[in-house]
Structure 1
Amino acid sequence: MRREILPAGFVLMLLGATHASAQALRPVQDAQIDLFVRNRAVAVRDRSQPAYDPLGIRAGGFTAFPRLQLGVVHDDNIFAAEDNRQPATTLRLTPEVVVRSNWSRHALETRARADIDRNLDYNSESTTDWSLDAAGRLDIVRGVDITLAADYAHDHEARTAAGAGPAARRPIAFDLASASLAATRTQGRLRLSAKAAVLRYDYRDGLSAAGAVIEQDDRDRTAARLTGRADYALSPATALFVQVARDDRNYRNVAGSPERSSSGREALAGMDFELGALIRGEVAAGYIRQDFQDAAYGDLDGVGGRARLSWFPTQLTTLTATAARSVEDTGVIGSAGALRTDLSISVDHELLRNLILTAETAWSEDGYNGLDRTDTRFATTSSAIYRLNRRYGLTASLAYLDQSSSGTAAGPNYRSTRLSIAVVSQF
């Protein structure tokens, strides 16, 4: 998802890792000398369960973790329709394998995953998605590390995706290729980092119910983002930081289609902190702006920021609240982007050592440029994970989504409820 590199010893760069890649590759630091470690409390979902965690299959310096999930999903509004809601049931098969290194220094992880959906009521809603990810961390010296990641995915745009385009016979498919490089230098109270990322989206054209081609080539784009950040530790539990970012979104030039390319910048200042074993969080605020090449769209700007706060009232319960403001690309005809505000709150509770319950409520608002349209989305999710033993488990979730759209160019208003049940096998 990101790319670039700076001279050694200068600021470091990140080709931001995609969704799954770099998270598990963070180096283990000595908490007595690293003023940026925040691990006094362990979140419910991060806590190790030695009696139920998979052991994996060791092969030399690597361990493989195969996983297979078979489930059933029932959706009471499969087409996200405002009227004439159609229920449907889908069988979902999700094979996955993760391979991790067991080295004392450096780290390498690869992942292969597929999501195979077969709809029992509407063949048009059957999809096959897959992804390949790889990430590696190089520990240069104490306090200096570099992470490189590359991902490729074949995916589709869900009917309920924010700002999804006109209804097609089948969900719109796309390919996403990304690469990333990250580097960080920590010395005493100061930590410097830089990130760079490159993503390439390639959308497939769709067909309308009448058989007409729904052009998607004008959504093909290459996005590049460069981020620099400096943190200064006031104490072992508190640090201040400043972050600046620049991104460029270059759309494919299609004859007869409006120019959607844009460039953006973001400047944030904030704090990350830990109050004993009770509260942990990061809060930042600042300014964001996205300038579009086509003046007809109008630029997007405003207050930017993000926040994530976790509260640990007991070792068995974790409450997490998040907030973010960002500029997102959109597939809505007549608009090139949306200023998005996201808010959410969730609670994880370990009812039993092998039973985790989760409840989450989320709210978001998209204000589109070039159109008099605002979408508001409200979602709630309740889920449970029950581990029978190391190898087998059960999952269940109930999700509700309500989208309302306003303005002279308002989009669809709809509600959707989805029930999922699955059996998990892992080694």
Structure 2
Amino acid sequence: MRRDILPAAAALALFGATEASAQSLRTDQDRMADLFARDRAIAVRDRPQPAYDALGIRSGGFTVFPQLQFDIVQDDNVFASDQAPQAATTFRLRPEIVARSNWSRHALQAQALAAIDRNLNFDSENTTDWSLGAAGRLDVVRGANLVAGADYAKAHEARTAASADPITQRPVAFNLASAHLGAERAMGRLRVSARAVVHRYDYRDGFSETGAVIEQDDRDRTLFTLTGRADYALSPATAIFLQITGDDRDYERVATRPLRSSSGYQTLAGVDFELGAVVRGEVAAGYIRQDFEDAAFGDLDGFGGRAKLSWFPTQLTTVTAAAARTVEDTGVIGSAGALRTDLSLTVDHELLRNLILTAQATYADDAYNGLARTDTRFGAGVSAAYRINRRYGFTAGLTWLDQSSSGAAQGPSYRTTRFYVGSTAQF
């Protein structure tokens, strides 16, 4: 949960499917032979549950996994307003279908999903998002592979998104096309990898309460990222690495507004490790910089880093802490980017074999360039997932978000609480 559990989960599902799929395409044999594998402990949410996991539908060399999620969401501040919060109830339907290959070598996965929201109180909050994507892995030789994938999504910006400024009659809609290409080669203690990713954002203009057009064309952009990484294994449980990432953010030019285009890089040095079956993680620190073409925006630079630590106090409990410092694009007028700090702590507990409880706390801080403004967000949430059998289950959760803004150009400050219950059908 970065902003709010529900919008974040939807965004990950819609836009992150290709990259997540690439990770899942690795075979069990690869993991066993990999000197860099960190899998002595299995996280609660990753543990196989033969009595409750979907079997899928076999079709030739593929297995197809259909799923349907239905949620009822109660929000006490649906417009994320600090003036007059209004409550609303939303019905959310999320059909999804994933097809995975069953081949002994190479792999291919495709998915299609949608998120259909119908608000019972405000028609303006009705949205229909969808995404199509595919990812594949080509095993060249043992220890070497190529991966590639592509996605196309039609989505909207959540009211609670950091860049949702100013407030429009309807949530701002956009299209996102993305693709990635990567290669990895392991040679004894050394592993090298490279990855190229491109995202193309195309925003639709919004409208104010008076009907005036709120132009979003200056947010249309193509983001290209190239990452190179080298890992060296000091032991079967510890490796050090160096990672360098460069990016180019090419924005559409709008005559009435300053150009937001920029280029930047991040250099990180770190270690990934596993302490028996108790702790594993990756910690990296370095330098980050983003240079903007227009002098109206100040450049961003400073400490960069990321960390993710997982603790397994018992086989039934997983505690995960994560942190990151990155440069993020923003839709805030007068600013082209923000230096963001993210922190999170998540606890998953398997109370019963078919009942998983989760608690999470988050913190995020955005320092905008070109504006005297800093936004701070605190979030918390609890949820439960209960499986009746391998086909049907129930979910429920409560999330809370508090945003405050400071500075001469301060933005909105508000609080919102959401409660949801849902049911899942999978085959």
State the TM-score, normalized to the length of structure 2.
Answer: 0.95
- 1:108 aligned partner, one-letter code: L
Q: Is this contact kept in 2: 1:206–1:213, CA < 8 A?
A: yes
Q: Report what 1:9 is aligned to.
A: none
Tell me, in whole angstroms, the C-alpha distance in 2 between the residues paired with 1:50 and 1:28.
Answer: 17
RMSD over aligned CA atoms reads 1.1
**C-alpha deviations, 1:209-264, integer Å up to 9, x for none?**
00000000110000000000000000000000000011000000111111100000
Q: Is this contact kept in 1: 2:169–2:206, CA < 8 A?
A: yes
Q: Is this contact kept in 2: 1:90–1:119, CA < 8 A?
A: yes
Does 2:69 align with 1:63?
no
Tell me, in whole angstroms, the C-alpha distance in 1 between the residues paired with 2:112 and 2:396.
Answer: 23
Select the structure that is richer in helix: 2
Structure 1 residue 34, shift from structure 2 partner: 2.2
Q: Report what 1:129 is aligned to.
A: 129
Q: Is this contact kept in 2: 1:17–1:180, CA < 8 A?
A: no
Q: Is this contact kept in 1: 2:17–2:133, CA < 8 A?
A: no
Q: Report what 2:161 is aligned to.
A: 161
Structure 1 residue 26, shift from structure 2 partner: 2.4
Structure 1 residue 21, shift from structure 2 partner: 3.2
Tell me, in whole angstroms, the C-alpha distance in 2 between the residues paired with 1:142 and 1:332.
Answer: 48
Q: Report what 1:7 is aligned to.
A: none
Does 2:79 align with 1:79?
yes
Q: Report what 1:191 is aligned to.
A: 191
Q: Report what 1:284 is aligned to.
A: 284
Q: Is this contact kept in 2: 1:17–1:148, CA < 8 A?
A: no
Q: Is this contact kept in 2: 1:97–1:112, CA < 8 A?
A: yes
Tell me, in whole angstroms, the C-alpha distance in 2 between the residues paired with 1:379 and 1:26.
Answer: 33
Structure 1 residue 163, shift from structure 2 partner: 2.7
Structure 1 residue 422, shift from structure 2 partner: 0.6
Q: Report what 1:52 is aligned to.
A: 52
Structure 1 residue 385, shift from structure 2 partner: 0.3
Matches within 5 A, 1:151-230: 151-230=151-230
Matches within 5 A, 1:203-352: 203-352=203-352
**Secondary structure, in 3 states, of the residue corresponding to 2:218?**
helix
Q: Is this contact kept in 1: 2:134–2:150, CA < 8 A?
A: yes
Does 2:403 align with 1:403?
yes
Tell me, in whole angstroms, the C-alpha distance in 2 between the residues paired with 1:265 and 1:224.
Answer: 12
State the TM-score, normalized to the length of structure 1.
Answer: 0.95
**Secondary structure, in 3 states, of the residue corresponding to 2:80?**
coil
Tell me, in whole angstroms, the C-alpha distance in 2 between the residues paired with 1:30 and 1:155.
Answer: 35
**Secondary structure, in 3 states, of the residue corresponding to 1:39?**
coil
Structure 1 residue 74, shift from structure 2 partner: 0.5
Consecutive unaligned residues of structure 1, counting only runs of 5 or more, are 1-15
- 2:354 aligned partner, one-letter code: N
**C-alpha deviations, 1:313-348, integer Å up to 9, x for none?**
000000000000000000000000000000000000
**Secondary structure, in 3 states, of the residue corresponding to 1:256?**
coil
- 2:261 aligned partner, one-letter code: S
Tell me, in whole angstroms, the C-alpha distance in 1 between the residues paired with 2:318 and 2:287.
Answer: 30
**C-alpha deviations, 1:104-125, integer Å up to 9, x for none?**
1110000000000000000000
Q: Is this contact kept in 1: 2:225–2:247, CA < 8 A?
A: yes
Structure 1 residue 33, shift from structure 2 partner: 4.1
**Secondary structure, in 3 states, of the residue corresponding to 2:124?**
helix
Summarize the Cα distance change of 1:32–1:44 in structure 2 as closer, same or farther, 3 Å threshold: closer
Matches within 5 A, 1:378-417: 378-417=378-417
Q: Report what 1:372 is aligned to.
A: 372
**Secondary structure, in 3 states, of the residue corresponding to 1:165?**
coil
**Secondary structure, in 3 states, of the residue corresponding to 1:21?**
helix
Q: Report what 1:13 is aligned to.
A: none
Matches within 5 A, 1:6-17: none
**Secondary structure, in 3 states, of the residue corresponding to 1:258?**
coil
Tell me, in whole angstroms, the C-alpha distance in 2 between the residues paired with 1:406 and 1:292.
Answer: 24
Summarize the Cα distance change of 1:204–1:30 in structure 2 as closer, same or farther, 3 Å threshold: closer
Q: Is this contact kept in 1: 2:69–2:95, CA < 8 A?
A: yes
Count residues with an aligned counterpart: 412
Consecutive unaligned residues of structure 2, counting only runs of 5 or more, are 1-15
